[in-house]
Structure 1
Amino acid sequence: MTYQLRALRALALLAGFHLIGVALLAAMAAFDWLMVTRWLTARAAWFEGMVLTSTVLVALVILRGMYAFLRAGRLQPLPEAVAVSPEEQPELWEQVRATAEAIGERVPDELYLVAEVNAGVAERNRLLGLVPGRRRMVLGLPLLAGLTVPRLRAVLAHEFGHYANSDTRTGGAAMRGRLAVVQTVESFLGGSTPLHHAVGIPYVAYARMFLRTSYSVARRQELAADRLAARHAGRDTTAAALRTLPVLSAAYSHYLETYAAMGEPLGALPPVGEVYGGFRRLLAAREEEQLAALAAGRHQPRPHEYDTHPPTAERIARIEELPADDPRDVAVHEPAALALVRDADRVFAALEARTLPHGAAGLRRLSWDDLVMARAVADADGWSRPLRVAVARALGPSARRGDHTMTDPAADDGLPGLAEVLDAFDRGLLWMAVADRIPKPDQAARLTGASARNFVRPRVFDGLAGMVQLHLVEAGEAGPDIAWSGRPGLTLPEEFEAGLDDALDAAVADTPDTAPLRALLAGRVPATGAPAAAV
């Protein structure tokens, strides 16, 4: 489809949306006029007020949708991005310029860095794109962290393909038009009156037609941009970049959930620049197979009929149908794309300042080791507290703290310490009294016998493990483990790493045996040099 035909189609879609709005507004105005001048009686004044209120509310929804459609194609501010100039980032801009020249396109006027595994281009549309406008390119810092320079060139070539095919000139209006249609339909379907739902019927029908038309065109545009990228950056490099994107996206989601958000319950953040910058450390510590496993372990959303991008597997298959690359063009050494960013630590810090919530400025910053330790202690305390409370209730008001010298910071709150919990297990209280006092969901409250024990056992196991971890931390025998290649937590003494699970299993068995766990604990000496606690 030529650019002129796409412009005409965009104009037709735009006109159709507004014609529906104008027709509905005219119909409601005529209805209100007839009701007021011909049908209204003194007894029905309340009905007139209700109808007029409903039509005004519906008219506002229509006008808001029409206004949003009119704004389609405008470049919106990017408050959560860092603008970089050619003077600030010459190496990165040089890659952008080189790709633009290779494809024969104009260099973007603006380049922004964002905290996403994504890249995109936009162009300010005037007269549906008939007049060329200001161009913008957006690159994700996490994307640069996970791509090599050749694969970045493939991504850049793909984005310049949208410029070359004039996708951005009509694409801005089409994209924002889709958003305007969807938002208008949602407003009507979520309305509070039957009139909202009735008026929404033509918009629903139009939205389906609009989305089916615009999304099918968007898919063809993506495939065309892929072909252009393969022609300029190489077939195999472009296919490799496409394979990398979902892996990077899954790894970045895992990083944000597991590492960047680690301090949320504590009111703390990683060091300045590390909220997003720490992703580099995870990528450096994990092999490609480990990263791929993260992507494989995540639930993949089902393709939607209105997706603007074809499935990645289909895009790769289309690319691999193209002629193979010349082996002489394959790069032996592929430097990391993030190396193109000067003073990356400063850029990551600047991105944090633009993206973190306002309240984040007052949060304390902890080193990764301190953050891991603080979170591990908080988690261990959370796991152990239900067990300790249950033991306290099982022992009753006559329970008293023994003369044990075992270091136990958790016992400072008046609840039983580790030695007292083990003593209670030895007295047979675990399955006689403690288990019934551990909180459980309503559906599990009716379980009895072996079923009840098997449901509670993991909670007792975790609680006891948390108490052991707190004991080792206080004794100076456990330290933080950021574990960029695994999951952050604590490093325990070698004998605990090897035998703790078996000892805990014995302690929470149907017939509890705390001897293995006591033997492990008896072999440790607190950091203060005091003798080991009697357990």
Structure 2
Amino acid sequence: MTFRLRAVRGLVLLAGFYLMGVVLLSAMAALDWLLVTPLFTARAAWFEGMVLTVTVLLAAAILRGMFAFLRAGRLGPMPHAVAVTPQDQPELWEQVRAAAEVTGERLPDELYLIAEVNAGVAEQNRLLGLLPGRRRMLLGLPLLAGLTVPQLRAVLAHEFGHYGNLDTRLGGVTMRGRKAVLHTVEVFHEGSTRLHYAFGTLYVSYARMFLRTSQSVARHQELAADQMAARHAGRDATAAALRILPVLAAAHTHYLETYAAMGRPLGVLPPPGEVHGGFQRLLAARTGKRLAALSVGQRPPRPHQYDSHPPTAERIALIEKLPADDRADGSADEPAALTLLHDPDRVFAALEARTLPQEAARLQRMSWDDLVMARAVADAEVWSRPLRVAVARALRSSAQGADGTVTLRRDATAEGVANDQLPGLEEILDAFDRGLLWMAVVDCMPKPHQAARLIGPAARNFIRPKVFDGLAGMVHLRLAEAGYAKPDIAWSGQPGLVLPEAWEKDMDDAIDAAVADTPDTAPLRALLVGLHRASA
């Protein structure tokens, strides 16, 4: 079946979807009319009210889905994007203009930069897509940071490919229909009555048939756009752009979780413009295999059953079957697409102002180094507190006799005690030397419900990593207070603290000895003595 016939079939199914809605609305209107007429007098008022309420709710759900089709074709405001004019960014617009010329398409009326590793186009068509309308293009600023200029040309040609195929006018209507169908199904799933569920099941059954049909239309559009990109930007550059997209997406997710959100627990933000702008620094530090390693081991997002995009591997394979051309893939010795922007730092700052919530304007800003240090100290306090509380409880519940034996009293606790009343590092090591680690501390450490009944070696092995982390946190705090731990933003690795050479070399072994079945705190104490001497 040709693409045009598939699109026509999808349009017919969409018409059937709306016809089903009209029939159901008419049936409910007829039922409500019967209820309010004197034809049926033997009815209870509560029954009449219940039926009217349910039919109104169902009618609202159906109408919301039907009007979703009209809204899907509108170009609404873009509050979380930065509008870019040819006067603002002439070089970027020149690339857009060149892509429009080679594909034989007219320019978009609007160009927006967004905070996603993505690109897209939209058109406010009229008369169900039969007449052209206002065009909009979206380009992700993180995408520009990760693509080279030739790869960006491939992305632009792909997006203009969605405009270029005349059949996509009808296909665009089908895509709007997909959104309306999905919206209607979601509305029925949100309903709480049994009739909502019954009508929702009816709509879901019809929607599945419609989505299966329209999916082939959507995927054909993507493959046709890929072909246009390969023709006008080069086969290898198009394939390279498709390969780098999932890598950039994984790197951007890692950046947002590890760097941009670093100060969230502290209520602080990175320097102005760096919430999004720091991503370019990560890309500069991690290239090639080091960048791709961020996605290694990560499970790719599960594709939606009715995903409009074919699998990336399938798209690349089809592109590579095309005849070779003279153009390179644009991945080596080519400038980054971000270099097309005038004053990219200002653009990153503008996008940040658009995407951050209003209350973010009141948050404190920190340099990257100060932010790394503040987060490291906060994390160290979190790691160490369970151990300090457990040792405080163990100390309060124990008493040492004249013969050196330790007895335990189970009535004393240290819950709710302030930080300045919790034991310090040396006091904890003293408690370990007294034998309290595996006699009392192990029972005072927090454990999940599943591990509450562990005893003996099993309990020690479960708690040991937590005790290790608690001691490591206290060591980090001691080194930070003494000025011997330095912050490291580590764009190519993991942000954290750089410790003195002796501690980097021997700390893990010393803590391992302190949390052994027979604790030996001497190695850790020796490191602390060296720290005190250096401070003196």
For Structure 1 versus Structure 2, the TM-score category normalised by the shorter chain is: over 0.9
Give me the whole-angstrom Cα distance separating, in 2, the residues matched to 1:52 and 1:331: 64
| Post-superposition offset of 1:429 | 0.5
| Post-superposition offset of 1:372 | 0.4
Structure 2 gaps, min length 5: 400-416
SS in 2 for 1:278: helix
- Return closer, same or farther for 1:7/1:441 CA change in 2, 3 Å cut-off: closer
Give me the whole-angstrom Cα distance separating, in 2, the residues matched to 1:2 and 1:86: 39
Give me the whole-angstrom Cα distance separating, in 1, the residues matched to 2:330 and 2:145: 21
Give the one of 430, 450, 453 matched to 2:460. Answer: 453
Give me the whole-angstrom Cα distance separating, in 1, the residues matched to 2:197 and 2:328: 63
Give me the whole-angstrom Cα distance separating, in 2, the residues matched to 1:133 and 1:6: 24
CA contact (8 A) 1:507 1:514 kept: yes
SS in 1 for 2:133: coil
CA contact (8 A) 2:240 2:331 kept: no
CA contact (8 A) 1:115 1:140 kept: yes
Q: Give the alignment of 1:182-193 within 5 angstroms.
A: 182-193=182-193
| Post-superposition offset of 1:35 | 3.8
| Post-superposition offset of 1:506 | 0.8
Give the one of 414, 417, 426 matched to 1:419. Answer: 426
- Return closer, same or farther for 1:247/1:4 CA change in 2, 3 Å cut-off: closer
Alignment match, 2:352: 352
TM-score (normalised: structure 2): 0.92
Alignment match, 1:143: 143
What letter is aligned with 2:311?
Answer: P
Alignment match, 1:395: 395
CA contact (8 A) 2:147 2:241 kept: yes
1:176 matches 2:191:
no
Could you tell which deviates more after superposition, 165-174 or 185-194?
A: 165-174
CA contact (8 A) 2:100 2:160 kept: yes
1:128 matches 2:135:
no
- Return closer, same or farther for 1:133/1:7 CA change in 2, 3 Å cut-off: farther
Give me the whole-angstrom Cα distance separating, in 1, the residues matched to 2:168 and 2:360: 36
1:520 matches 2:527:
yes
| Post-superposition offset of 1:397 | 7.3
CA contact (8 A) 1:151 1:237 kept: yes
Alignment match, 1:488: 495
Alignment match, 1:403: none
| Post-superposition offset of 1:168 | 5.8
| Post-superposition offset of 1:63 | 1.1
SS in 1 for 2:113: strand
- CA deviation profile, 1:343-385 (whole Å, cap 9, x unmatched): 1011000001111111111100000000000000000000000
Give me the whole-angstrom Cα distance separating, in 1, the residues matched to 2:113 and 2:209: 35
How many residue pairs get matched?
A: 519
Give me the whole-angstrom Cα distance separating, in 1, the residues matched to 2:367 and 2:325: 46
- Return closer, same or farther for 1:254/1:331 CA change in 2, 3 Å cut-off: closer
- Return closer, same or farther for 1:497/1:328 CA change in 2, 3 Å cut-off: closer
SS in 1 for 2:184: helix
Alignment match, 1:162: 162
Give me the whole-angstrom Cα distance separating, in 1, the residues matched to 2:419 and 2:59: 64
- Return closer, same or farther for 1:291/1:179 CA change in 2, 3 Å cut-off: same
CA contact (8 A) 1:72 1:174 kept: no
Give me the whole-angstrom Cα distance separating, in 2, the residues matched to 1:183 and 1:424: 62
Give me the whole-angstrom Cα distance separating, in 2, the residues matched to 1:4 and 1:329: 33
Could you tell which deviates more after superposition, 242-251 or 62-71?
A: 62-71
1:287 matches 2:287:
yes
- Return closer, same or farther for 1:411/1:33 CA change in 2, 3 Å cut-off: closer
Alignment match, 1:341: 341
CA contact (8 A) 1:271 1:367 kept: yes
- Return closer, same or farther for 1:415/1:332 CA change in 2, 3 Å cut-off: closer
Give me the whole-angstrom Cα distance separating, in 2, the residues matched to 1:110 and 1:72: 18
- CA deviation profile, 1:172-196 (whole Å, cap 9, x unmatched): 5433322221121122233221211
Give me the whole-angstrom Cα distance separating, in 2, the residues matched to 1:332 and 1:419: 55
Could you tell which deviates more after superposition, 26-35 or 157-166?
A: 26-35
What letter is aligned with 1:183?
Answer: H
Deviation above 6 Å: which 4+ runs of structure 1? 1-4, 327-332
SS in 1 for 2:129: coil
Give me the whole-angstrom Cα distance separating, in 1, the residues matched to 2:430 and 2:167: 73
Give me the whole-angstrom Cα distance separating, in 1, the residues matched to 2:64 and 2:449: 47
What letter is aligned with 1:337?
Answer: A
Alignment match, 1:437: 444
- Return closer, same or farther for 1:329/1:468 CA change in 2, 3 Å cut-off: closer
Give me the whole-angstrom Cα distance separating, in 2, the residues matched to 1:316 and 1:5: 26
Give me the whole-angstrom Cα distance separating, in 2, the residues matched to 1:349 and 1:310: 35
- CA deviation profile, 1:52-94 (whole Å, cap 9, x unmatched): 1111111111111111122231112111000000010000000
CA contact (8 A) 2:238 2:329 kept: no
| Post-superposition offset of 1:412 | 6.0
- Return closer, same or farther for 1:326/1:43 CA change in 2, 3 Å cut-off: closer
SS in 2 for 1:133: strand
- CA deviation profile, 1:421-469 (whole Å, cap 9, x unmatched): 0111111100100111011111100111111111111110000000000
Alignment match, 1:56: 56
Alignment match, 2:516: 509
Give me the whole-angstrom Cα distance separating, in 2, the residues matched to 1:482 and 1:526: 29
Give me the whole-angstrom Cα distance separating, in 1, the residues matched to 2:456 and 2:398: 28
1:231 matches 2:231:
yes
What letter is aligned with 1:486?
Answer: G
CA contact (8 A) 2:425 2:474 kept: yes
Alignment match, 2:411: none
What letter is aligned with 1:522?
Answer: V
CA contact (8 A) 2:6 2:213 kept: no
SS in 1 for 2:131: coil
CA contact (8 A) 1:260 1:270 kept: yes
What letter is aligned with 2:131?
Answer: V
Could you tell which deviates more after superposition, 188-197 or 272-281?
A: 188-197
- Return closer, same or farther for 1:49/1:154 CA change in 2, 3 Å cut-off: same
CA contact (8 A) 2:84 2:111 kept: yes
- Percent identity (aligned): 75
Alignment match, 1:104: 104
| Post-superposition offset of 1:170 | 4.1
What letter is aligned with 1:152?
Answer: L
| Post-superposition offset of 1:206 | 1.8
